[in-house]
Amino acid sequence: MDEFCNSTFWNLSLLKSPEADLPLCFEQTVLVWIPLGFLWLLAPWQLYRIYRSRTKRFAITKFYLAKQVFVVCLLILAAIDLSLALTEDTGQATIPPVKYTNPILYLCTWLLVLVIQHCRQCCIQKNSWFLSMFWILSLLCGIFQFQTLIRALLQDSKSNMAYSCLFFVSYGFQIVILILSAFSESSDSTHVPSATASFLSSITFSWYDSTVLKGYKHPLTIEDVWDVEEKLKAKSLTSKFETIMTKDLQKVRQALQRRLKKSQQSPEGTSHGLTKKQSQSQDVLVLEDAKKKKKKSEATKDFPKSWLVKALFKTFYVVILKSFILKLAYDILLFLNPQLLKFLIGFVKDPDSYPWVGYIYAILMFAVTLIQSFFLQCYFQFCFVLGMTVRTTIIASVYKKILKYFAWEPSFKEQVNSIRKKELRNLLRFSQLQTILIFVLHLTPTLVSVITFSVYVLVDSQNVLNAEKAFTSITLFNILRFPLSMLPMVISSVIQASVSVDRLERYLGSDDLDLSAIRHVCHFDKAVQFSEASFTWDRDLEATIQDVNLDIKPGQLVAVVGTVGSGKSSLISAMLGEMENVHGHITIKGSIAYVPQQAWIQNGTIKDNILFGSEYNEKKYQQVIEACALLPDLEMLPGGDMAEIGEKGINLSGGQKHRVSLARATYQDADIYILDDPLSAVDTHVGKHIFNKVVGPNGLLSGKTRILVTHGIHFLPQVDEIVILGKGTILEKGSYSDLMDKKGVFAKNWKTFMKHSGPEGEATVDNDSEEEDGDCGLIPTVEEIPDDAASLTMRRENSLRRTLSRSSRSGSRHGKSLKSSLKIKSVNALNKKEEVVKGQKLIKKEFVETGKVKFSIYLKYLQAVGWWSLLFIVIFYVLNYVAFIGSNLWLSAWTSDSEKQNGTDNSPSQRDMRIGVFGALGIAQGIFLLSSSLWSIYACRNASKTLHRQLLTNILRAPMSFFDTTPTGRIVNRFAGDISTVDDTLPQTLRSWLLCFFGIVSTLVMICMATPIFIIIIIPLSILYISVQVFYVATSRQLRRLDSVTKSPIYSHFSETVSGLPVIRAFEHQQRFLANSEKQIDTNQKCVFSWITSNRWLAIRLELVGNLIVFCSALLLVIYKNSLTGDTVGFVLSNALNITQTLNWLVRMTSEAETNIVAVERINEYINVDNEAPWVTDKKPPADWPKKGEIQFNNYQVRYRPELDLVLKGITCNIKSTEKVGVVGRTGAGKSSLTNCLFRILESAGGQITIDGIDIASIGLHDLRGRLTIIPQDPILFSGNLRMNLDPFNKYSDEEIWRALELAHLKSFVAGLQLGLLHEVTEGGDNLSIGQRQLLCLGRAVLRKSKILVLDEATAAVDLETDSLIQTTIRNEFSQCTVITIAHRLHTIMDSDKIMVLDSGKIVEYGSPEELLSNMGPFYLMAKEAGIESVNHTEL
């Protein structure tokens, strides 16, 4: 090599001087060839990648042009250098080869760079990471030659002037190119810039600066967050995963089949195949009952296993491999710092070492920590994004599986397994174990160091503990701290992941929907044909539909009738493919539109629900909403058909939901319409209107095939064919006249029920019926059958709206059609609409906080923790770190002993004292940490208990209006999510914050004690640190809020899809819902991705601050070398190296604390909700009150909220003891308001109600409500067994309960159940029919036997048979009680003693039925409309 350069290649003596330098030959060869070799080795691979990813999107940008121009300049400089080398007269015989070899290499290299840059711009539009690395390497290697040439010029100004100038200019151009490479190409404003970010921008996350700045200036919105790259979107991920999953799952299924065959061949082998029904119950969304799990464990143990993790690995193996390489590199570098520390201590101890050696060590230490930071943060970015993509893939795959899966049984049952006290006890036990584990793991490095040093000095008297050994060891031991602290979390996460994987494999690995029995054909003479069709809900049970043969011709209107439980809805479900086929098949010709028995409404506008993805046709749309009797509703709703419908139609009544569901089906241009009892939840006259305008022979659907399940037998004469079902089989079928002629089951039932209902059922709706309603002085409207608590208020609001707009609307009915009244709005109408809107907004939008959490919230939590507890916790943490500082100072003093004694061993007593005190300080750290942790656990548990008690107490005392305007999910979220955060997450976050905070303070104190000058450096670093934190916290906090906000729609849509699966599949809208789900997942993904990136943005900057602390500490130690000792150096640097991670965690914990304290903020919001009246007052009614049951209303007035008008306007009447009073009136008349006032759900705005002479406003709510009984309009049941639902307080004996069941006509049904009274009721009673739920509520009322009974339209939504049973029991069992019945069907109250007719909150008539019928007033007109002419018409 000497000949190659014509100078010395290597001379070690050059380094052994204060002015050390490298030989020029070494700099011109090795240091030149390293970067060039790196480039040429990787160039083929880089060009191949560019070729494979070519996309033909060439764009000339200013950055591209600038880089190309400067590389061309480098090319010219290389050419000049070569020409100079060839023409220069050196005075030597031959030109040194290095003179022309290097310029030639550079010429080729710059040409290669030009090609690579051009190709990347054409195909990728992103700077190459390896080109950036090449420029960095080239500059780092060139810096040595740079300083050598400067020295040479300073010694001899004429030495190699031309070559030096060319090198300096070339070096400058390379710096400029590197700077240009740091900038990113511009990207689409909606897409994440990481796709086009430069290498340097990527590793420092500088492309995210603009988001952080934006988040600092104002709270981020969803529009401020960039979309994720296409490859990270749900559709791309799911497509890739499902391809791999299908192959792997097929292999595992084949292996499972072989295993099952072997087990069947063995004598004792039994097959445990997984049925679709069972697999459904294993889904991640279904919380199974423990008993059920035990029973089904055997039946569900065989399923495809151990494939999901493999499939996920194959999908994401590239990312996993990259992460592994980065982490491996980081861990290797992690062990370099202790060695550098050892060298630096040796440098300080050696008085003859040259200063440049110390500077090299300091720079190397900084470089190593900086590279570590880059590796670690890139590794974390990969891992977190991997977690996000895996989550996205699983959610999207499960959703996709749902859409094509078998019948989804409604088993979302949340059963509370333990009371709050038990939960807290378990949490306490868990926290104690966790604290002890943290204590052991935190103490481990300390104990290891104590034991190691003790053993080292005790085994051999020649072993002397010096600074190099001690602090190098301490630094190595500290490396263990983070993995050990993470170990409990890792173990917990692995266990949770294994459980989740098992459940996901069980679910995703189950068989797909088998639709082979449902045959869709194009050419067939029948619309629907059942051929020996038998279907079941579960293979283990007998067939629900048995041997059905049925032909339905195109264009026919077929009615399906039968008693409760006869199989009507099951027949429909079989057609839709929602049941298991036993044998036979169903042939269907054409598309299907479906109206389910329980209306399914999406969260969106009424218009969206009706269109359901179809194109808008104004004429058709107007026809549909008019035919479905929706125009009156659209008039009163703000925004008309653009009014938002709440979750599950929460702000619509039951009838409104049914009519929207019917309008959705009617609007679709389908061939077959399947209508599952859509008329049961509407008023009689509305039902007739809908039948005539939509379903009947002259309706919009005439000419289409219609299958109508109905209880309204008065429609049957108008249908083409009637099918009577009983126990899953067809009992009779034929036309109305044929069946009546047969005098079979149908004819017999027809005569029975027509006798009960009288001509009411045969009345038809003519075009003038609405006008007649208007003339009678009562407000014509729709039905009053809400399905939930919130819709009760909707009905109340209707009262106000109708009162306000009565005159204008009644006038408009005569002057113009409803259709035109919706389309044409005058200025006056708009003004009135605005007035109505004030009371219309039912569901309040959930308040989302922005900006910082108020300091008062922190004080609220700390007050709940307890100020004394807080003081002692802080004191123990301080003592822990005092002991920590003490142990470090003691170790420093111990290592200085060796220097004082010139390397000889201390005396045994001195040595033992050093070991003893060091060990004692280590143990003290552990004790103080354990004490503070345990104390904090008890204090935080007390805080959680206090907040939960305050929340529960206040919510139970909240008025009913609060529950009407607040969705149940929000309240549950406070008790579940927010209390869980306060129970578990917040205490851990605060403990971690205190540990990090005191850890940093103690470290800085120790560094400043050793080198006081460091205080000057702390100030700018602290400013930098606080600035980064302020910027980050504002952005991170808002991103977490956005994450929560965007996550809710995913699960709402998921839940919505599950509840509407039969409708979605019937309409064949799976792809639309899948696309919507993917869109919502991607919206959430971009928030999660942005939050992940914000963490990395923060971490890289905080670690830079930590790295600067290390560098400055090392630099100061080199500068002040002569005044320091080795033990001080070790003491300072071992702590400085530990500060980087702690700094990172402190800001993370600060952000987490502020994020989690939001839970306290949300709890506090509900703690401060206004209360209703006291439950118990000093004035108590007599024990036997009410004895008579006399009720007096005296000028009683009420309004729902202070800003609204009165809904009851001076009600005055007397209800005598044991009197039976029927209350009637159109929707909004105030019927339900009357019952709400009796229970003081609404408080008086004037007047009073007295029961047996006692003003109900003067006693406590519990004393009042406990003495009255109501059978509500909507039967309310709870998760639990039947006995608990009948007797929640366990007051009655089994004999009394069976007696109540007998009176409620449920004894035979309950006796037939396997578990009898212990039969489990699912949430809301979904596993019972509506009729059975109503009868259970009747049984509950029979048990209580209150003197006053209120029936709030209790028979509105049941068939006539169930209605008859309820009326019979009420007459017999409550003959000695005062009964108030709000009537929906007039015949149910015609035998009452008195009838109260309400209109607009006033009593317009009150008297016996005979009197009112003879008065020819409003009641007479209502009875006439229903076809009732006398009381005898309805006697049973």
Between CA 232 and CA 386 the distance in angstroms is 10
Residue 185 vs residue 219, higher pLDDT: 219
Output the average pLDDT for the chain: 77
Percent helix, percent strand, percent coil in the chain, to nearest 5? 65, 10, 25
Between CA 804 and CA 794 the distance in angstroms is 15
Q: Which residues contact 1075 (CB under 8 A, 6 or more apart)?
A: none
The mean pLDDT of 686-707, rounded to a whole number, is 88
Between CA 1405 and CA 1420 the distance in angstroms is 10
The answer to whether the Cα torsion of 339, 340, 342, 346 is positive or negative is positive
Query: pLDDT for 855-876, tens place per residue?
Result: 888 888 888 888 898 899 899 9
Highest average pLDDT, of 258-262, 480-484, 556-560, comes from: 556-560
**Other CB atoms closer than 10 Å to residue 745's CB: what's the count?**
14
First-to-last C-alpha distance (Å) of the chain: 120
Q: Which of 662, 715, 654 is nearest to 682 (CA)?
A: 654
Query: pLDDT for 613-634, tens place per residue?
Result: 889 999 999 999 899 988 877 8
Residue 188 has pLDDT above 80, yes or no: no
Query: pLDDT for 351-370, tens place per residue?
Result: 888 888 888 888 998 999 89
Q: Which amino acid makes up residue 146?
A: F
Q: How buried is 813 (Cβ within 10 angstroms: 0-12 exposed, 13-18 middle, 19+ buried)?
A: middle
Phi, psi of 1168 (to 5 degrees): -95, 15
Query: pLDDT for 1274-1300, tens place per residue?
Result: 677 877 788 888 887 778 888 888 988
Identify whether the C-beta of residue 994 lies closer than 8 Å to the C-beta of residue 874.
yes
Tokens 């023409």 appear where?
A: 87
Lowest mean pLDDT among 713-717, 808-812, 977-981, 1342-1346: 808-812
The mean pLDDT of 291-297, rounded to a whole number, is 43
Between CA 427 and CA 424 the distance in angstroms is 5
Q: Which residues contact 331 (CB under 8 A, 6 or more apart)?
A: none
Query: pLDDT for 900-909, tens place per residue?
Result: 655 555 577 7
Residue 432 has pLDDT above 80, yes or no: no
The mean pLDDT of 573-584, rounded to a whole number, is 87
Residue 1078 has pLDDT above 60, yes or no: yes
Distances (CA, A) of 384 to 241, 319, 1089, 1090, 1116: 18, 11, 8, 11, 38
Reading the block at residue 719, the tokens are 């249908």
pLDDT at 57: 59
pLDDT at 758: 46
Q: Which of 510, 312, 254, 303 is nearest to 401 (CA)?
A: 510
The answer to whether the Cα torsion of 372, 378, 381, 385 is positive or negative is negative
| DSSP-derived secondary structure letter, 616 | P
Highest average pLDDT, of 510-514, 956-960, 1107-1111, comes from: 1107-1111
Sheet order of strands, 1394-1399 included: 1268-1271, 1348-1352, 1378-1382, 1220-1224, 1394-1399, 1402-1407
Between CA 1068 and CA 591 the distance in angstroms is 9
Reading the block at residue 1301, the tokens are 């069941």
Residue 319 has pLDDT above 90, yes or no: yes
Beta-bridge partners for 958: none
Element (H, E) at 1349: strand 1348-1352
Between CA 301 and CA 1334 the distance in angstroms is 39
Phi, psi of 773 (to 5 degrees): -60, -45
**Other CB atoms closer than 10 Å to residue 1071's CB: what's the count?**
10
Long-range contacts of 696-703 (CB under 8 A, 24+ apart): 696/557, 697/557, 699/627, 700/623, 700/624, 700/627, 700/666, 701/666, 701/673, 703/555
b/e 1097-1125 (16+ beta carbons within 10 angstroms → b) = bbbbbbbbbbbbbbbbbbbbbbbebeebb
Residue 939 vs residue 154, higher pLDDT: 939
Q: Which of 916, 968, 1401 is nearest to 1204 (CA)?
A: 1401
Identify whether the C-beta of residue 1146 lies closer than 8 Å to the C-beta of residue 1002.
no
Query: pLDDT for 1025-1039, tens place per residue?
Result: 788 777 787 888 788
Torsion angle defined by CA atoms of residues 1430, 1431, 1432 and 1436, in that order, rounded to the nearest 10 degrees: 140
Query: pLDDT for 1197-1224, tens place per residue?
Result: 888 767 667 888 888 889 888 888 998 8
Query: pLDDT for 1010-1063, tens place per residue?
Result: 778 778 877 887 888 788 777 787 888 788 778 877 776 777 778 778 778 888
Identify whether the C-beta of residue 233 lies closer than 8 Å to the C-beta of residue 197.
no
Between CA 1242 and CA 1236 the distance in angstroms is 6
Reading the block at residue 810, the tokens are 């009644």
Between CA 1196 and CA 1077 the distance in angstroms is 51
Between CA 236 and CA 680 the distance in angstroms is 45
Sheet order of strands, 672-676 included: 592-595, 672-676, 705-709, 557-561, 721-726, 729-734
Query: In the structure, what pLDDT confidence band is assigned to residue 927 with cuts at 50, 70 and 90?
Result: confident
Identify whether the C-beta of residue 403 lies closer than 8 Å to the C-beta of residue 1064.
yes
Helix (H, G, I), strand (E, B) or coil at 910: helix
State what percent of residues in the chain have pLDDT above 90: 9
Element (H, E) at 1183: none
Residue 638: is the preceding peptide bond cis (ω within 30°)?
Answer: no
Query: In the structure, what pLDDT confidence band is assigned to residue 314 with cuts at 50, 70 and 90?
Result: very high
pLDDT at 761: 41
Between CA 1316 and CA 1282 the distance in angstroms is 8
Phi, psi of 561 (to 5 degrees): -125, 165
pLDDT at 1358: 60
Between CA 113 and CA 129 the distance in angstroms is 13
Residue 1072 has pLDDT above 70, yes or no: yes
Q: Which residues contact 401 (CB under 8 A, 6 or more apart)?
A: 507, 508
Instruction: Establish how many alpha carbons lie within 13 A of residue 640's alpha carbon, considering only the half-sphere containing its beta carbon.
Output: 15
